[in-house]
């Protein structure tokens, strides 16, 4: 595309010290995409700032970056109210599956046969529509993880995990066949984890201190998550020792909490710790952890709220572990458009109303998800993710070699990638300067930048990003 070629030409004219120039990839046009970023103002612009001042009287607006024009946003590009068009590699905190305003989804929403699903939001736990079982089969059950034929829908990631914890507690108590009551049970989680902001979830969230400030928490065990050294191939022995240390600590904690009278009913873990800094572990680590859970009679809960939906190159990140029996519960949200959790038969609550709320999800989101899954299959988007992911991580490796004082620890799976910045202040500056040049990114952990594009992110989008990122890094060199 014209913008892409001009961007590459601009890259060739960068100062001598900026050695990295990304080539323009051949383009397979995304029919509803723009050609590239287009910036009219700095971000936030005047209209965003005015709207921000209006909004301050009704809500806490401290986290708002800018206001958006979603009508004009397309594909991989988010447009703000000042007309700035940005290549979005953060995608609403990793929750946009196939880009903004995908034609297939717009067509679906314009179908008059779907009006009832859009207009009426039923209390699914007591009065579901007649077609709800079929719609679940078409959408969520068609991508069920290995060994799981049941799914419980919810509205968001936090309530998905919160109710999954309840399901594990109920399952654990039913095994004991003890007297009714409120037992002293626990969930084992990991340092650096993020599982949500509701009370039970927050007890297992350990990514940033501000999340937990002033809020009471349960006395539940917290295990260390492996801190891998990069590049992985140069530290295989050290990383194996680190993972073994963490696994040993997991077993010690399970024994310790049982002795305290607060036995571990379940273990919860993310395949990649996202909010906590894009922290990875090997498939062997997760397989061993699964075995520990089985050995000690704990349910094993894999939180795929951010990693599920295809951005690691497989629909579920835990598929990279190569296990037939990877988990007892798998929670989801974000790219699945609705929340909920899959579970084995034995994790089904024993009585109605024990796992319950008013809406229990939203049928309109299942309708959208079924079409999203059609697009993923039709366009082979998981293969695209693998291809784009290789271009992205290789580009990050090159930039890391060029700017060793700024960048380190490039890592990722598919397009679910991250890189560390030398310090938090530099990271903040890079994020803002990239935004003003037309690339929207997000941070995670203490000093990482995370990349969370939609599944329609192609090679040529990668190269647009890499050239702009190089320009920003050159200013910090």
3-state secondary structure of 54: helix
Strand order in the sheet with 150-154: 150-154, 339-343, 329-332, 299-303, 264-269, 186-190, 222-223
Give the single-character DSSP code of 36: S
Q: Does the bond joining 44 to the residue before it have cis omega, within 30 degrees of 0?
A: yes
Q: Is 303 known to be catalytic?
A: yes
Query: Are the C-beta atoms of residues 271 and 228 closer than 8 Å to each other?
Result: no
Secondary structure (3-state) at 149: coil
Please identify which of the residues 32, 66, 169, 194 carries the catalytic annotation.
194
In Å, the largest CA–CA distance within the chain is 75
Burial of 297 (0-12, 13-18, 19+ CB in 10 A): middle
CB 395 within 8 A of CB 467: no
The answer to whether 416 and 390 have CB atoms below 8 angstroms apart is no
Task: Given the residues 334, 335, 433, 458, select the one marked as catalytic.
Answer: 334
Work out the angle at residue 125's Cα, subtended by the Cα atoms of residues 120 and 131, and round it to the nearest 5 degrees.
55
Which runs of consecutive H residues, i.e. helices, occur in 89-156?
91-94, 103-110, 115-119, 132-138
8-state DSSP, 315 = S
Phi/psi at 336 (nearest 5 deg)? -85, -5
Structure tokens at 198: 């509701």
Contacts of 31 (CB under 8 A, 6+ apart): 103
Our answer to whether residue 358 is catalytic in this structure is yes
Strand ordering across the sheet containing 407-413: 407-413, 416-421, 448-451, 442-444
Tell me the C-alpha distance between 150 and 328, whole Å. Answer: 11
Rounded CA-CA distance 450/444 in Å is 6
The number of residues in the chain equals 477
Q: 40, 295, 325, 358: which is the annotated catalytic residue?
A: 358
Helix (H, G, I), strand (E, B) or coil at 300: strand
Distance of CA 208 to the CA centre of its chain: 17
Report the distance separating Cα 290 and Cα 298, nearest Å.
9
What letters, b where the CB count within 10 A reaches 16 and e where it falls short, cover 436-449? ebbbbbbbbbebbb
Query: Reading across the β-sheet that carries 85-88, which strands appear in turn?
Result: 77-79, 85-88, 439-440
Question: Of 293, 286, 297, 366, which is closest to residue 319 (Cα–Cα)?
Answer: 286
The catalytic residue positions are 194, 303, 334, 358
């Amino acid at each position: 595309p014209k913008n892409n070629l001009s961007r590459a030409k601009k890259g060739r004219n960068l100062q001598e010290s900026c050695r990295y120039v990304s080539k323009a990839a051949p383009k397979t046009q995304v029919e509803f995409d723009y050609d590239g970023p287009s910036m009219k103002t700095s971000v936030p612009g005047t209209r965003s700032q005015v709207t921000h001042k209006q909004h301050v009287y009704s809500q806490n607006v401290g986290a708002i970056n800018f206001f958006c024009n979603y009508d004009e946003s397309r594909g991989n590009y988010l447009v703000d109210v000042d007309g700035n068009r940005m290549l979005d590699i953060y995608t609403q905190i990793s929750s946009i599956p196939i880009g903004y305003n995908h034609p297939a989804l717009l067509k679906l929403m314009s179908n008059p046969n779907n009006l009832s699903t859009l207009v009426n939001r039923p209390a699914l736990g007591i009065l579901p529509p007649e077609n709800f079982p079929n719609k679940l089969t078409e959408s969520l059950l068609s991508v069920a993880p290995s060994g799981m034929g049941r799914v419980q829908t919810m509205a968001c990631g936090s309530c998905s995990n919160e109710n999954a914890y309840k399901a594990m507690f109920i399952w654990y108590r039913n095994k004991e066949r003890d007297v009714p009551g409120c037992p002293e049970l626990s969930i084992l989680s990991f340092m650096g984890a993020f599982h949500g902001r509701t009370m039970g979830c927050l007890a297992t969230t350990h990514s940033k201190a501000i999340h937990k400030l002033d809020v009471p928490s349960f006395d539940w065990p917290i295990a260390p998550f492996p801190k891998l050294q990069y590049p992985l191939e140069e530290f295989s022995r050290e990383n194996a020792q680190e993972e073994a240390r963490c696994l040993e600590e997991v077993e010690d904690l399970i024994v310790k909490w049982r002795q305290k009278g607060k036995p571990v009913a379940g273990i919860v873990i993310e395949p990649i710790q996202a909010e906590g800094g894009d922290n990875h572990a090997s498939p062997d680590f997760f397989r061993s952890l699964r075995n520990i859970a089985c050995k000690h009679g704990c349910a094993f809960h894999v939180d795929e709220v951010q990693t599920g939906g295809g951005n690691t190159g497989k629909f579920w990140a835990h598929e990279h572990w190569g296990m037939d029996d990877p988990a007892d519960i798998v929670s989801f949200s974000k790219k699945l458009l609705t929340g909920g959790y899959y579970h084995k038969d034995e994790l089904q609550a024993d009585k109605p109303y024990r796992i319950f709320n008013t809406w229990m999800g939203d049928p309109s989101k299942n309708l959208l998800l079924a079409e999203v899954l059609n697009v993923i299959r039709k366009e082979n988007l998981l293969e695209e993710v693998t291809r784009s992911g290789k271009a992205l991580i290789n580009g990050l490796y090159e930039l890391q070699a060029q700017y060793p004082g700024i960048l380190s620890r490039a890592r990722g799976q598919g397009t679910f990638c991250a890189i560390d910045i030398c310090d938090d202040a530099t990271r903040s500056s890079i994020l803002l300067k990239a935004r003003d040049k037309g690339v929207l990114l997000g941070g995670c952990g203490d000093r990482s930048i995370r990349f969370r594009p939609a599944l329609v992110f192609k090679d040529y989008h990668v190269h647009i990003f890499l050239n702009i990122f190089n320009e920003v890094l050159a200013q910090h060199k």
